[in-house]
Structure 1
């Protein structure tokens, strides 16, 4: 049989099983659900290293040592945040307003998994789906099918042992475009949780089913003159080199003021950044984007050494990131675009106000709604950035990659980061279990129709009274003016 037909039939079978499993999950207590979530967490945590090595070996992206951190974050950190959330039955009751809120699972979720964070995203999505009483069927990126399937096998096995029904966590073993299309458009899919490239996210939103998708990240990092420059540079380089820049919240460019430009450049070089000359920057630019304007997958998650070899650059040994000085922003300027690799653009503006405008220009070019990072000790300027930037996450004095996902900030720990309406997303949240439930509201009557009529009459009388008072005041003022005129 044709591969696409086999894939489509597999998806139909997985969804049918997931639907039956979800009905059983929907009848479980909070304690039973929490027991399953804990089992998923523990099994993923115990296999964090194994899965990290599999992901690097299969995809060629990033560093397995950092992928261990991501797997640990996706299991332990996410679990610690969600473990005490009420997601089953009555989750809120306001006795004064006579209002009760009941959590209702959305049903069967389609989980689309990227190749950049394959195992960690699968762990995270499975945990938040089950916590909300949903089953989930994964569509793995073809470049990461083996490591995602192994992740699902491990956590699904643990979930079933803890009481989950068979089929509650499942994954396509034959990923095709036709199969994924069937998954997203199937009538029994209640919600699509899409993490990946722009075309895939757009396909999710046009599927006819509700979807939560995320757009590209292209976060600029502004180093304002009051910042601790050495610490700001450390945070940026730590972030951009973490798993070779594969987290979408990682910094894509640095923006500085002219008064600190030399100091920032000196500090970047001291901490391992390599500044490309004009010829080198032009040469590398040809490898960042493909002819169709999309990011070249050959550079994604690769080390500086691998990228330099690819572009025939003579880069100093031990260089951590490659930086190109840039002034332009636009679709055809690679250094102003998203680069999921240890490559940064570098911009300099005369004032912080101009820097602010440059950051907005970069974001509106690509990455609107996602993330911006500012390093500053000036609260007034920080707040100005918060008021004006078209982002869902403004990160202050923290690494972008780990701050955006909630590892070094108090944001919801997540590997799917909403971009809000400005970024074409259904939400601006870091996605957690509460985004994967519906809320049924029980509202008791608090009055009768006569009460509404009485309130309207009272309001009308009040308006008339205020009008009369105003007329009286005007009459008094007029009499005073007449008296004054007569005296003159």
Structure 2
């Protein structure tokens, strides 16, 4: 194999995987809802059983994050996700309205292209595989090369779960030779029905420009506004919990603390009490130089690393128990020249003081419009009118209140659907503002019966009664009995 061109090998691999996935999906199309649920439950069970193994593999291979938090991610993507989706109707006739005489039929996309990042490799692979199969699709995963082994092991386990239920293993597969050319082939191929893109901005843009329907997510750059009525101790605990979870590798994690002058010193003191280290100006300069890579973007060497390790890289001495490195920023320090205003994917925070909630509102929007529009904002307050004001004005798809942004955004501590693909809406360049679920992975075929005669639509006509008296329940039973032949 060493003599082969890797790009050509990757493209051929993708074509073979797609052919097998398409054949497997045709078999899945004949399954009932109960049979599909059995498959997804088996996938959830085996992922849960191996949650620690997969977390350990991911950390060892990528160097990002920490095992205990990746275990939590794997459980969120398996057991917790299953509990959220198990009762969803995703096969055949999924809804009917007797009064309007409408039926809705789920129509799977067929094959999903699942692009999986290195920051959340095993959990994202589990999540995308489960929601794809639940919606009646096969999935071919394009793994980030830096996490190939961990993702491949995840897929092996999921395939074994499918095999144990007598289902085709090729409902879930993974590229063996991931290259940009191979992934491009996967996204553009006629057998790919939809793309689920989670990763860097360039990759997401490529997914949307591929010509294939796509659901992608933009970067997060989450401000956490601690307002004067907040429970400061609890708010700080939530911010640190979210920021340190897996060392900041989730896109919904906090990137900035914004707080009012009247409580700023108290917030700062509480942050120090709970393990934050506030950098002096010389130390800020050293960290800013480290955050940037030679091309001016984010330095991948700091991604998913603990605060003390990042400080050592920058030549800054901090206490060994330090949880988060914090740089206080002037009000106008937002943009490419101010790395602490970026999404940093590590336990680094910017700290901004503002006069009041109005100025906080403006600063949060400025940070989001620089990077992270459409994603997530965290608000810590007891003022319900302020919550409503922020809900009406902020350019985000998720406003999480009095909870860690990381956990709240992915649905771990809120009522949002558990997900590792978080839509950013039109403002963020995404086709959806939702946390993506199986309901996003099929189209709907509407069956609509005539209710009135067309002649009655004329302005001088009176409405008539129903065209026919239809027994919609009997018709539904008939359609269900014929679905397997379609």
- Asked if Structure 1 and Structure 2 have the same fold, meaning a TM-score greater than 0.5 normalized by the shorter chain, the answer is yes
Q: Which of structures 1 and 2 has the bigger CA Rg?
A: 1
Give, in whole Å, the separation in 2 of the partners of 1:317 and 1:105.
52
Superposed counterparts of 1:124-139, under 5 Å = 124-139=127-142
Instruction: Name the structure 2 match of 1:290.
Output: 293
Q: Following TM superposition, where does structure 1 have runs of at least 4 consecutive aligned residues deviating by more than 4 angstroms?
A: 454-458
Instruction: Name the structure 2 match of 1:333.
Output: 338
Give, in whole Å, the separation in 1 of the partners of 2:163 and 2:104.
29
- State how many pairs are aligned: 458
Give, in whole Å, the separation in 2 of the partners of 1:165 and 1:453.
55
8 Å CA contact 1:128–1:432 kept in 2: the answer is yes
Matched, 1:436 2:441: yes
- Please provide the CA RMSD for this pair: 1.0
Matched, 1:82 2:85: yes
Give, in whole Å, the separation in 1 of the partners of 2:11 and 2:310.
38
Instruction: Name the structure 1 match of 2:30.
Output: 27
Instruction: Name the structure 2 match of 1:302.
Output: 305
The alignment partner of 2:343 has SS state of: coil
Instruction: Name the structure 2 match of 1:171.
Output: 174
Instruction: Name the structure 2 match of 1:262.
Output: 265
Equivalent of 1:354, from 341, 354, 359?
Answer: 359
Instruction: Name the structure 2 match of 1:160.
Output: 163
Matched, 1:364 2:369: yes
Deviations, residues 51-75 of structure 1 (Å, cap 9, x unaligned): 0000000000000111101101100
8 Å CA contact 2:455–2:461 kept in 1: the answer is no
TM-score, structure 1 normalization? 0.93
8 Å CA contact 1:32–1:163 kept in 2: the answer is no
Give, in whole Å, the separation in 1 of the partners of 2:23 and 2:346.
42
Deviations, residues 281-340 of structure 1 (Å, cap 9, x unaligned): 111011112233321111100011210111111112201000001121112211111010
The alignment partner of 1:76 has SS state of: helix
Matched, 1:426 2:392: no
Instruction: Name the structure 1 match of 2:350.
Output: 345
The alignment partner of 1:298 has SS state of: helix
8 Å CA contact 1:221–1:253 kept in 2: the answer is yes
Q: CA deviation at 1:4?
A: 1.0
Give, in whole Å, the separation in 2 of the partners of 1:196 and 1:152.
19
The alignment partner of 1:41 has SS state of: helix
62-71 or 293-302: bigger deviation: 293-302
Give, in whole Å, the separation in 2 of the partners of 1:332 and 1:164.
53
Matched, 1:447 2:452: yes
The alignment partner of 1:268 has SS state of: helix
Deviations, residues 22-66 of structure 1 (Å, cap 9, x unaligned): 111111100110000000000000000000000000000000111
Equivalent of 1:312, from 315, 318, 329?
Answer: 315
Deviations, residues 147-205 of structure 1 (Å, cap 9, x unaligned): 00000000111112113213110000111111111111111101000000000000000
Give, in whole Å, the separation in 1 of the partners of 2:344 and 2:263.
25
8 Å CA contact 1:184–1:209 kept in 2: the answer is yes
Instruction: Name the structure 1 match of 2:412.
Output: 407
- Unaligned 5+ runs, structure 2: 464-486
Deviations, residues 342-385 of structure 1 (Å, cap 9, x unaligned): 00000010011001100000000000000000000000111111
Give, in whole Å, the separation in 2 of the partners of 1:152 and 1:375.
39
Give, in whole Å, the separation in 1 of the partners of 2:257 and 2:92.
47
Q: CA deviation at 1:455?
A: 6.2
283-292 or 408-417: bigger deviation: 283-292
Give, in whole Å, the separation in 1 of the partners of 2:461 and 2:270.
68
8 Å CA contact 1:109–1:190 kept in 2: the answer is yes
Q: CA deviation at 1:448?
A: 1.3
Instruction: Name the structure 2 match of 1:398.
Output: 403
8 Å CA contact 1:293–1:332 kept in 2: the answer is no
Instruction: Name the structure 1 match of 2:47.
Output: 44
Instruction: Name the structure 2 match of 1:213.
Output: 216
Give the 3 Å change call, closer, same or farther, for CA 166–317 of structure 1 in structure 2.
Answer: closer
Give the 3 Å change call, closer, same or farther, for CA 455–130 of structure 1 in structure 2.
Answer: farther
